[in-house]
Amino acid sequence: MAHDLPGWVAELTDPRRASTLDELADRLVPLAEHAIDVSRRLQALLNELNDPFKRDALYGRVDRLKTRAGEAMDEITAEIAASGAERVERIWAEWLERVRTTDRSGGRARELRRRLEGDIVPELTRRQRDVAEQVAARTSAALEEATQTLLTRVEELAKAVTELIHGVLPMAREGLGLASRISGLSTRARQAGRGQVPDELREESTELSRTFDEAVARLELEWATLGARSATVRAALRGAEETAFSHVTQAMTDCVEELAPEHVRVLQETEARAATLFDLLAES
């Protein structure tokens, strides 16, 4: 559905409809302001498009990836430690239930706790640390690979964006140059005095108005197109960052799955050693 502006808008803004020098000068001013506005908006969008590729933004993207990988690694380490602690507490609860009626003084319970903390827990902790170190090593290698891939993709995108900026920037400057020409014509119209618009100025203002319409239409179209491209670039950068993080977490997951059987075996051995300790303490 078309949305037309009131007819008086064209009467007050189109230099070709001016009948006096004052009217011509008045109508040229908003044209110059319009050309400046669209040029500045285009330049601002170009700056926005270039911002993600500045040094600080690049370092920030890499640091963010490392931070997220570190947080994920901390979660895995905590889960490994929690599984061991849970198994030890289960062993302890089973022992307390076993001696609940016979260990009135609590001597056997204290001895078991001492032996658990002195003999079994340190060995379990060491083996859990070995698992965590293997996951950390795999994570570090995956992080380095993901970082290099991310940097390569950002560099490729930066080259394309730089070419785009170099192609569009002259158009923004064209708008500013056009605004200067329009302002100059407005000044000449005011300096010409009052009365009817001379043929020379009318022809020049008509030609300049036509040039303005064509130039601003191109600038507005380029501004809209560039906005869509800017959104695509931001999405691409975000996608590259998320893909890099997914690569790291996938490496973590694969490593954990590979080490899971060994970790389960360690927990089972810990429980078996505790059972043997139960029997020894029960006989004492």
Tell me, what's the pLDDT at 1?
A: 37
pLDDT(115) > 80:
no
| 3 state DSSP class of 18 | coil
Q: What is the pLDDT of residues 8-60, one digit of tens each?
A: 777 777 888 888 889 888 889 999 999 999 999 999 999 999 999 999 999 99
Task: Specify the DSSP class assigned to residue 15.
Answer: G
pLDDT(183) > 90:
yes
Average pLDDT, the chain: 87
Write out 94-148 in H/E/C secondary structure.
Answer: HHHHHCCCCCCCCHHHHHHHHHHHHHHHHHHHHHHHHHHHHHHHHHHHHHHHHHH
Q: Alpha-carbon distance 140 to 63, whole Å?
A: 14
The domain segmentation of the chain, as residue ranges, is: 18-283
CATH number given to 18-283: 1.20.1270
Residues 6+ apart with CB under 8 A from 151: 58, 62
Q: Which two tokens stand for residue 254?
A: 């694969």
Q: What is the pLDDT of residues 245-274, one digit of tens each?
A: 999 999 999 999 998 888 888 888 887 887
Residue 193: phi and psi, rounded to 5, are 100, -150
Q: What percent of the chain has pLDDT over 70?
A: 93
Confidence at 99, pLDDT banded by 50, 70, 90: low
Torsion-angle region of residue 197: left (phi > 0), alpha (psi -120 to 50) or beta?
Answer: beta
Residues 6+ apart with CB under 8 A from 206: 15, 16
Q: Alpha-carbon distance 253 to 201, whole Å?
A: 75
Residues 6+ apart with CB under 8 A from 94: none
Residues 6+ apart with CB under 8 A from 105: none
Residue 197: phi and psi, rounded to 5, are -80, 125
In the chain, the amino acid numbered 19 is S
Tell me, what's the pLDDT at 281?
A: 67
Within 10 angstroms of residue 78's Cβ, the number of other Cβ atoms is 11
Q: Quickly list DSSP for 168-234.
A: HHHHHHHHHHHHHHHHHHHHHHHHT-SSBPPHHHHHHHHHHHHHHHHHHHHHHHHHHHHHHHHHHHH
